[in-house]
Structure 1
């Protein structure tokens, strides 16, 4: 077994940065005999489920993480070490990265920790309350970026996560700038929000002599404050020949020309290095490698792969599934009486009644009763505001949707079959598409968030 694992690799879901397809990344981890692999993609968790499935198939542990920018205003005294882009200006338009914002990597070790970094990511995108931020000081393109309030609100005091300070983090940048007292102050500030065991200082070597000095200074700070030092190579491409592609992605992201003064990336930076070479390089700090394994053993994230997770709204919000199933059946029968004029108790052999029973059996077997009840509650809420709403797509072929007034299309009248929407062999979650008046769409979003909460 490998003596370390990568905690913050980049996959191809790191837009304009990562090159490694999830399956390739997992294959290399298995080939290197790593028991786990951590992936912290840039600005989001878009590849998390795919990576979790790939790791599950390969029999290794997936450690989810995300790499996010921190707004300069959140860092006292940051101007002294702020790194600006040093090139001759943009090729076309504004650069995607205009201020060289420092970045942190947040890693989840529990399901609660994963929920926290999901909320943190939404906050960085200005979407936590459901409405994008229209302005952001020093952030003209509204780039995903955290404020101090975001950090304190969403991860402060939360167990089950680790904040890793890598090469572009505020602490490491301050060290690299020779501002060791400021770096210590910044580290202590984070220690007010999280336990020292939830903080880690990343060290990496890319063949540069300056790396040796940075590693020593980082280790000295970690030892002085009781913060763990951990290997943080951050691979984002697999073979040396892909370095030019990595440079092009960086240039696209920052909107600059690739030339003599660019890229800023060092030759081996971002490459999936030979594990034996890494072990040799960090022989003096085996604890930095060992902690990656210790952290992987702490990971206990329940992804519920292969299971449908459905929302619970309305008066059955906290009810068990069997109660939701009963409620769905009763409401569907009431709807059949009101909309089709057929009483299921009096006409059990009617084709519509048999069709409804058939659909209810499939929905019950799939555990989707709360899902239909949730959509029904949403539609009812929209109509109470005199907003037009219509169901479109294959969901209109469901008799349950018609009896719950989700759809106004009678599938019995038009000969529509429910299996086009949902059948007993379908493994993924069916979707019910709703159209509302375009000029009222944002009002609907705000009302739903106000009614059921942003965490829904």
Structure 2
């Protein structure tokens, strides 16, 4: 009898990072790095109704051989779980628009989708269906999905060594036989390594608002939700289903490097290019700044800057900022430009900044550098009481489909991590408040762990107390939820949701994209900072 072939190819098509808040113990980059170490061909990060973690995963994949695939999962009570993958740039746009739609139906942090949503507007995506075998009429639902999705539709099977494994396997083979569609498999990873299992269990308890002491069933009975080795996967799934994961991954060619961000064109008069218009405004501004004549040295500086701006195609960005400060000046709203923008003669001539950089001998290359290949950073502070007028002007001019605030990722800090981990471990709110009230996290002589051990040795030396110290430290710095940036707007030439999903912020009349400042910088995308001046 011949020995089984050694599995040498597998693509993980369903994994959740900690941007599926409280559902995963792994950072997106951890999943990519670990998948590459295990020899996977590809990995898809498929956070729930979100692409918030894909930029960090993409950055990690650029330094490795593994292919990175963009996707997202959606959970429907009557259906099970649907995973959408984006094989092309246009498929990615369709995915982002659907996420935007689902998020727009609910308050911040939630989404609403139904089965009919997956029968239109997704003609280029791939669909993997992980059925909930407790539901009825799965064959009828599957037939409808197959009729719409055709060759872009697969059944998805996952095994994590649970009591219902055998029943689910037989149900899957029967469903495949009835629908006559291909089956693929995935790990459904929520951990990069086994070591993350205890933190994963604590996150599950936090999400359920309970403790592992009260509900031991919240703890996973194994670590099979980790990224598993190729040999482990071979023992877990039929070879044909494993091979299908690679076949699907091979068809996914979209890369985030394809994203191109275009600024609105309406700021440029007909018959002129953006470069010509910016040059004209700069020259007009120079005459305004220097009524007795523009010094030749200043002209030489702004011409050099305009040349660099043109080389990087940043003219629309400067025109957008100029439009905002022009509106503010017209309305009598106080403002000031600051930061590296103060190094620019063009910004001075456009009225964005008030300090003449020609008099302080600064280098424009600190502001824009072809070698650094980084977008310019222009911070404009508007008077606090009237900043809302600027924000509403942006919404009126560009519409809510084309303008939204960048996200800020709110992460666990000591206080929130200590509280949530403690409650998950069964400490009472009163106990935690008492312990925390005596800890000084700013003390440079003693860490908070040392302080707790000194003040409450009975806690620090107990098993549960050691867990409190260890997992509080682990949880600090991990994402809790998305919030809105203080004033960083992203403005697009057309529908912004083709570039990145947009969702409701907690503040009324505010929408926020799913990427933060770091993500935007990583992709070379520009934001307009509308900040507050006290």
Question: For the Cα contact (< 8 Å) 2:48–2:72, is it kept in 1?
Answer: yes
> Residues 160 and 53 from structure 1, CA distance in 2 versus in 1: closer, same or farther, beyond 3 angstroms?
farther
**What's the counterpart of residue 263 of structure 2?**
311
Unaligned runs of 5+ in 2: 1-6, 404-494, 497-534
Question: For the Cα contact (< 8 Å) 2:31–2:191, is it kept in 1?
Answer: no
Q: Could you tell me how far 1:7 is from its partner in structure 2?
A: 0.7
> Residues 451 and 242 from structure 1, CA distance in 2 versus in 1: closer, same or farther, beyond 3 angstroms?
closer
Q: Could you tell me how far 1:162 is from its partner in structure 2?
A: 1.8
Unaligned runs of 5+ in 1: 73-77, 82-101, 127-132, 167-171
SS across alignment from 1:314:
coil
TM value normalised by structure 2: 0.65
TM value normalised by structure 1: 0.74
> Residues 31 and 311 from structure 1, CA distance in 2 versus in 1: closer, same or farther, beyond 3 angstroms?
same
Q: Could you tell me how far 1:293 is from its partner in structure 2?
A: 0.9
**What's the counterpart of residue 94 of structure 2?**
116
**What's the counterpart of residue 210 of structure 2?**
256
**What's the counterpart of residue 98 of structure 1?**
none
After TM superposition, the structure 1 stretch with the greater mean CA deviation from structure 2, 309-318 or 220-229, is 309-318
Question: For the Cα contact (< 8 Å) 1:201–1:229, is it kept in 2?
Answer: yes
Q: Could you tell me how far 1:288 is from its partner in structure 2?
A: 2.0
Match for residue 6 of structure 1 among 1, 12, 19: 12
Match for residue 306 of structure 2 among 351, 360, 364: 360
Match for residue 247 of structure 1 among 198, 201, 204: 201
> Residues 222 and 243 from structure 1, CA distance in 2 versus in 1: closer, same or farther, beyond 3 angstroms?
same
Output the CA distance in 2 between the equivalents of 1:240 and 1:311.
45
Output the CA distance in 1 between the equivalents of 2:353 and 2:324.
12
Q: What count of residue pairs does the alignment treat as equivalent?
A: 395
Question: Where do residues 27-46 of structure 1 align in structure 2 (5 Å cutoff)?
Answer: 27-46=33-52
**What's the counterpart of residue 438 of structure 2?**
none
Question: For the Cα contact (< 8 Å) 2:38–2:230, is it kept in 1?
Answer: yes
Structure 1 residue 229 corresponds to structure 2 residue 183: yes
> Residues 445 and 336 from structure 1, CA distance in 2 versus in 1: closer, same or farther, beyond 3 angstroms?
closer
Structure 1 residue 56 corresponds to structure 2 residue 62: yes
**What's the counterpart of residue 96 of structure 1?**
none
RMSD: 3.4
Output the CA distance in 2 between the equivalents of 1:223 and 1:381.
65
**What's the counterpart of residue 375 of structure 2?**
429
Q: Could you tell me how far 1:110 is from its partner in structure 2?
A: 0.9
Output the CA distance in 1 between the equivalents of 2:333 and 2:75.
39
Match for residue 161 of structure 1 among 125, 133, 136: 125
Output the CA distance in 2 between the equivalents of 1:57 and 1:410.
42
> Residues 184 and 425 from structure 1, CA distance in 2 versus in 1: closer, same or farther, beyond 3 angstroms?
same
Output the CA distance in 1 between the equivalents of 2:182 and 2:327.
51
Match for residue 251 of structure 2 among 298, 311, 319: 298
Output the CA distance in 1 between the equivalents of 2:19 and 2:64.
19
**What's the counterpart of residue 369 of structure 1?**
315
> Residues 402 and 231 from structure 1, CA distance in 2 versus in 1: closer, same or farther, beyond 3 angstroms?
same
Structure 1 residue 186 corresponds to structure 2 residue 141: yes
**What's the counterpart of residue 267 of structure 1?**
222
Structure 1 residue 335 corresponds to structure 2 residue 285: yes
**What's the counterpart of residue 73 of structure 2?**
67
SS across alignment from 1:57:
coil
Deviations 1:71-107 (A, max 9, x none): x6xxxxx4xx9xxxxxxxxxxxxxxxxxxxx653322
Output the CA distance in 2 between the equivalents of 1:271 and 1:452.
38
Q: Could you tell me how far 1:68 is from its partner in structure 2?
A: 3.8
Output the CA distance in 1 between the equivalents of 2:74 and 2:342.
41
> Residues 394 and 206 from structure 1, CA distance in 2 versus in 1: closer, same or farther, beyond 3 angstroms?
same
SS across alignment from 2:399:
helix
Deviations 1:173-201 (A, max 9, x none): 2x2x1x342x2333345457x52333332
Q: Could you tell me how far 1:69 is from its partner in structure 2?
A: 4.5
Structure 1 residue 397 corresponds to structure 2 residue 359: no
Q: Could you tell me how far 1:23 is from its partner in structure 2?
A: 4.3
SS across alignment from 1:277:
helix
> Residues 371 and 249 from structure 1, CA distance in 2 versus in 1: closer, same or farther, beyond 3 angstroms?
same
Question: For the Cα contact (< 8 Å) 1:391–1:406, is it kept in 2?
Answer: yes
Output the CA distance in 2 between the equivalents of 1:452 and 1:383.
26
Question: For the Cα contact (< 8 Å) 2:368–2:374, is it kept in 1?
Answer: no
Q: Which is bigger in relative contact order (C-alpha 8 A, separation at least 6)?
A: 2
**What's the counterpart of residue 95 of structure 1?**
none
SS across alignment from 1:195:
helix
Structure 1 residue 151 corresponds to structure 2 residue 117: yes
SS across alignment from 2:32:
helix
Q: Which has the larger strand fraction?
A: 2
After TM superposition, the structure 1 stretch with the greater mean CA deviation from structure 2, 234-243 or 53-62, is 234-243
Q: Could you tell me how far 1:380 is from its partner in structure 2?
A: 4.4
**What's the counterpart of residue 232 of structure 2?**
277
**What's the counterpart of residue 169 of structure 1?**
none
SS across alignment from 2:313:
coil
SS across alignment from 2:184:
strand
Output the CA distance in 2 between the equivalents of 1:440 and 1:215.
59
After TM superposition, the structure 1 stretch with the greater mean CA deviation from structure 2, 386-395 or 36-45, is 386-395
Output the CA distance in 2 between the equivalents of 1:120 and 1:452.
14
> Residues 55 and 228 from structure 1, CA distance in 2 versus in 1: closer, same or farther, beyond 3 angstroms?
same
